[in-house]
């Protein structure tokens, strides 16, 4: 267990509560709007009934007195039905918003959501002058897997990496599929040592998940970047990603199934060789 894994709470928890409240508010707005639209039905009914008569406030009051139950039933039933429809519409709007930020194969966040969160976490780290780590996780030999065993086997290997990432993240961490065989993990309040410990656990978890699901012992290479932004020196998101990408290049150059990293800005350094399982 690494620092802060148990009971760690910060702005990310507030963000999740805010997202949940916003989702409920959207659904409520759709329902209220539907209910208000439902009132158009009795108004239309009254217009039809009074259009051949002289339209006046007195005629409206008389109509309501005579046909009170009809209008009450029309208003209540129509508003209820349209409000329910509005609630369902709000639910599907939330679902569409979720799909817009989720990778369909792995269920992790997609690049769009990742880049949004990276900017937020860099701003948060700079504001509180806290460390921020970023891991690029690359599935070793995906092209060879696709060529030898088919794309279904490659998809299964990618899903095993996603499962490993999900199982190892704290509540405040953020995992995404960046595209192809690459995944990104943002780790707020994590120094280099903590990031390496997480990378080692991820490597071991990928192997154990793959073996449990009979996925031929998939392995990953991981590049790490870690920095402590400040209010006066806030690196661009691309700077953190570039450092992690350099580290990943070192890990792959050494044969894969490795962890390498650096503390940016600056050159990446290889931490260690880690043979956590049999490669494909």
Q: How many CB atoms lie within 10 A of CB 189?
A: 21
CB of 206 closer than 8 Å to CB of 160: yes
For residue 96 the two structure tokens come to 């569409």
Q: What is the DSSP letter of 33?
A: H
Who's near 91: CB < 8 A, 6+ residues apart? 27
> Is the preceding peptide bond at 174 cis, omega within 30 degrees of 0?
no
Residue from 103, 173, 181, 191 carrying the catalytic annotation? 181
Is residue 94 part of the annotated active site? The answer reads no
CB of 141 closer than 8 Å to CB of 147: no
11-38 vs 40-50: helix crossing angle, rounded to 10 = 10
Rounded to whole angstroms, the Cα distance separating 70 from 76 reads 10
For residue 32, give Cα distances in angstroms to 23, 82, 88, 105, 115.
14, 9, 12, 36, 34
Catalytic positions are 181
């Amino acid at each position: 267990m690494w620092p802060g894994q148990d009971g760690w709470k910060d702005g990310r928890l507030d963000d999740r509560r805010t997202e949940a409240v916003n989702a409920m508010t959207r659904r409520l707005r759709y329902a209220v709007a539907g209910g208000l639209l439902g009132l158009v039905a009795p108004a239309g009914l009254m217009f039809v009934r009074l259009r051949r008569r002289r339209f006046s406030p007195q005629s409206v009051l008389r109509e309501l007195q005579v046909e009170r139950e009809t209008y009450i039933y029309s208003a209540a039933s129509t508003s209820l039905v349209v409000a329910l429809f509005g609630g369902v519409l709000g639910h599907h709007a939330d679902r569409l918003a979720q799909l817009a930020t989720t990778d369909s194969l792995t269920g992790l966040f997609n690049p769009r959501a990742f880049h949004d969160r990276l900017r937020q976490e860099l701003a948060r780290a700079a504001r509180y002058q806290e460390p921020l780590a970023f891991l690029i996780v690359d599935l070793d030999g995906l092209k060879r897997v696709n060529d030898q065993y088919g794309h279904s086997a490659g998809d299964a290997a990618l899903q095993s990496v996603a499962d490993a990432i999900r199982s190892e993240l704290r509540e405040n961490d953020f995992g995404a599929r960046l595209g192809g065989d690459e995944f990104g993990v943002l780790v707020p309040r994590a120094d280099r040592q903590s990031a390496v410990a997480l990378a080692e656990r991820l490597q071991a978890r990928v192997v154990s998940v793959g073996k449990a699901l009979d996925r031929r012992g998939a392995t990953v290479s991981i590049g790490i970047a870690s920095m402590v932004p400040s209010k006066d020196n806030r690196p661009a998101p691309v700077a953190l990603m570039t450092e992690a990408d350099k580290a990943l290049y070192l890990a792959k150059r050494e044969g894969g199934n490795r962890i390498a990293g650096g503390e940016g800005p600056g050159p990446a350094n290889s931490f260690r060789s880690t043979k956590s399982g049999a490669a494909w």
